[in-house]
Amino acid sequence: MHRLFAKQIARATDATGKVDIDQLAALVGGAYDEFDRDRRRTDRSMSLMIEEIDGKNRNLQQLVAERTCELQARERDLQAQNVRFDIAINNMTQGLLLYDSSAGLIVCNERYLAMYGLSREVVKPGLSLRDLVLHRKEMGTFRGDVDEYLAAVMHGVAIGTTSEILTETPDGRSILIVNKPVVGGGWVATHEDVTERRRSEERIRHLAHYDALTDLPNRALFHERLREELARIAPGDQLAVLYIDVDEFKTVNDTLGHLVGDELLKAVGSSLRGCTKSCEFVARLGGDEFAIVKARVKTPADVAHLVARVLKSIRVPFDCLGHRVTTDASIGVAMAPEHGADLDQILKNADLAMYAAKSAGRRTWRFFEPEMDARVKARRNLEIDLRQAIADGALDIHYQPCVNLHDDGITGCEALVRWRHPERGMISPAEFIPIAEETGLINELGEWVLTKACTEAMTWPENIKLAVNVSPVQFRSGSLALKVIAALAASRLPASRLELEITEAVLIRDDDTALAILHQLRGIGVKIALDDFGTGYSSLSYLQRFPFDKIKIDRCFINDIAEPEGSSCIVKAVVNIAAARHMVTIAEGVETLRQHELLRSLGCEEMQGYLFSPAVPAAQIRQLLHSTLDDKAVA
């Protein structure tokens, strides 16, 4: 019997054992109802649950499908990114390796393999750094101790700092290896071929300290070396600094061209290097200036011997691009500590000594002397005074007449500048004109003379010409013709009455600008005279290059014209050449009647000199010209 039914019977049975059928039926019926209800609930809940789980399942399936799509898209992105990453790392100019925290290779790019001629078969992910280096050693692309190299790399990685290692490969390349730790352990290594860069750096370093033309140390290195040597002069020792200036280098450059000039400098540099000892430091300071530092000088004789060697080596004729070039040098020597122990002082003193050697006529050498400094200072003072004098209009112009040798009539006057210094009295143009030329003051001075002389000439009789000297420096400015035109216009002096005297220096350089200016001047009617003819080079080619109106025969030929074996034949030759080219000749410095007579007999046309009149102030020449005119009128 079912346990529940037994209970139901027990419950429906009273104390006498009688079963209440109605109660039993109610209990049994109730139980059936309960079972039915429970079954219905179970059915309902089961089907709902299945429905719900189905729904959840569908949602899940949809979610999985969406996630799968997302993952696929992400994978595609990742692949594209990987391709880009591969392209990027394989097109780097550096070799690249990525290691994990246990020094196992993760990534290696193509450039790395190419740098060391390695195979992808061997260098693959998982390969340890040690095995890679050992492999390279075997293949001959690693030089050095493997353990030491590994220790160096791992030390940097271990302490978490970026390390750089510069290695040399057996085939002579310089490779810079940078190991940089990355987050999460491991590191990235880049290998860069810095061979070219290092060579360039070396070249730049060399260029910074060496002269490109001669490959001698340059001024910077010279100063550096001199400073070092000055700091370690032993007691009792001296240090000599030689400043060497190649004589007439400018002339070589001007006449034979820059290429030959450069060859000459190279040859001189090479000779200097050849004639000096290892303790003597040779440098090129620039232009035609060289220098030597000689340490541990015991006696002046040590320096004299060095100078002798230098001069000897420079005086050897050099073959420069097929030209045999002979040159010489002016050398200044300053001693330290005797002439000063500081760098600037010793350099300045050597320079002064060199200029002293130049002033002494070149081809020689001089020790520095304190007076040299004084002379330079005096010259500088003179420059200051001259500048002031020009500004104040304190200069004066004197005029010397030029005379026709046939009738002794005045044909013109040469304007000559004069300077009366308030303290020193009259100063020779030979002293102040070079200063004016060096400083550029000549432009201002020349313009002033021209303007003032033109104005003055307008007070003279109309047949009297005006001769004005023009310095080669004035030709360099390029505005000379304009200034002449301006002076003529301002004074109203006809161009035909103006004669400009130039020296051969204007033409010595094959200067198209100067020639163009001369032609412009000639074009407006100004006459051009060649001054000081017969001195210097006096190349006849100048006469061909420009058709001068007049040639001035230098006074040195006139001085001895009356002497037996004198210069009369030279004067004659010049007169003949001039006549042939329709040029007038004028002789300078005529002081005697004898000279006067000779010149006339030789066919020279004009003269200038004390015999007739020295240069005199403007008022005086005006008086002279008008009295001469009056004389003529009387005659």
Query: Least distance from C-beta 32 to other proteins, angstroms?
Result: 10
Question: Is residue 42 close enough to count as binding other proteins by CB under 8 A?
Answer: yes
| Binder of other proteins out of 20, 36, 38, 66 (CB under 8 A) | 38
Q: Are strands 329-336 and 365-367 parallel, antiparallel or unpaired?
A: parallel
| 30 lies in the site for other proteins, by CB under 8 A | yes
Closest to other proteins by CB, 30 or 440: 30
Q: Which is nearer to other proteins, 41 or 227 (CB)?
A: 41
Residue number, 44 or 143, with CB nearest to other proteins:
44
- Is 42 or 326 the residue whose CB approaches other proteins more closely? 42
The span from the CA of 251 to the CA of 116, in Å, is 58
314, with CB counted inside 10 A (0-12, 13-18, 19+), is buried
- Rank residues 30 and 317 by Cβ distance to other proteins and give the closer one: 30
Select from 6, 49, 80, 482 the one that contacts other proteins (CB under 8 A). 49
With CB under 8 A as the contact rule, the residue among 27, 357, 442, 604 that binds other proteins is 27
Is residue 102 a contact partner of residue 187, using CB atoms and an 8 Å limit? Answer: no
Out of 6, 25, 45, 434, point to the residue binding other proteins (CB under 8 A).
45
Nearest to other proteins of 60, 139 (CB atom) = 60
Footprint (CB under 8 A) of other proteins, residues 350-379: none
Cα 609 to chain centroid distance, Å, stands at 51
Using the rule CB under 8 A, give the single segment among 33-41, 75-83, 220-228, 582-590 that binds other proteins.
33-41
User: Phi and psi of 488, rounded to 5°?
Assistant: -65, -40
Question: From the list 7, 84, 227, 626, which residue makes contact with other proteins (rule: CB under 8 A)?
Answer: 7
Contact status, residue 487 vs residue 456, Cβ threshold 8 Å: no
Considering the rule CB under 8 A, would residue 6 count as an interface residue with other proteins?
no
Q: Coil, helix or strand for 539?
A: coil
Nearest CB to other proteins, comparing residues 38 and 342: 38
Give the C-alpha distances (Å, rounded to integers) separating 57 from 65, 66, 69, 222.
12, 14, 18, 91
**Rounded Cα–Cα distance for residues 318 and 245 (Å):** 16
Phi, psi torsion values for 141, nearest 5 degrees:
-110, 10
Residue 616 and residue 398 in contact, taking contact as beta carbons nearer than 8 Å:
yes
Beta bridge partners of 19: 13
User: Interface with other proteins includes 8 (CB under 8 A)?
Assistant: yes
- Shortest distance in whole angstroms from residue 24 CB to other proteins: 12
Which residue in 6, 19, 25, 41 binds other proteins (CB under 8 A)? 41
Q: Does 9 interact with other proteins (rule: CB under 8 A)?
A: no
The C-alpha atoms of residue 318 and residue 406 are separated, in whole angstroms, by: 52
By CB under 8 A, name the one of 53, 151, 204, 524 that touches other proteins. Answer: 53
Give the binding range for other proteins (CB under 8 A) out of 52-60, 84-92, 260-268, 426-434. Answer: 52-60
**In angstroms, what is the minimal distance from the CB of 62 to other proteins?**
16
* 379 Cβ neighbours under 8 A, 6+ residues apart: 435
For other proteins, the closer CB: 7 or 581: 7
Q: Which helix (H) or strand (E) holds 556?
A: helix 555-559
Q: Residue 57 or residue 81: which is nearer to other proteins going by CB?
A: 57
Close Cβ partners of 505 (under 8 Å, ≥ 6 residues apart): 472, 536
User: Could you say whether residue 40 binds other proteins (CB under 8 A)?
Assistant: yes
Interface residue with other proteins, options 20, 34, 77, 630 (CB under 8 A)? 34
Q: How far apart are CA 344 and CA 334, in angstroms?
A: 12
12 binds other proteins (CB under 8 A): no
CA distance 250 to 257: 10
Min separation Cβ 14 and other proteins, Å:
12
Segment near other proteins (CB under 8 A); pick from 28-36, 82-90, 255-263, 488-496: 28-36
By CB under 8 A, how many residues form the interface with other proteins? 18
Q: Please, what is the minimum distance in Å from the beta carbon of residue 8 to other proteins?
A: 7
- Measured CA to CA in angstroms, residue 139 lies from 94, 121, 129, 298, 314 at distances of 20, 14, 15, 59, 55
Exposed, middle or buried, 494 (CB in 10 Å: 0-12/13-18/19+)? Answer: middle
Binding segment (CB under 8 A) for other proteins, from list 43-51, 235-243, 403-411, 452-460: 43-51
Region binding other proteins by CB under 8 A among candidate stretches 45-53, 312-320, 448-456, 625-633: 45-53
- 36 in contact with other proteins (CB under 8 A): no
Q: Is 166 in the site for other proteins (CB under 8 A)?
A: no
CA 629 – CA 631 distance, rounded (Å): 5
CA angle, 278 then 283 then 288, to 5° = 140
DSSP, res 216 = S
Which residues in this chain contact other proteins in the complex, by CB under 8 A? 4, 7-8, 27, 30-31, 34, 38, 40-42, 44-45, 48-49, 52-53, 56
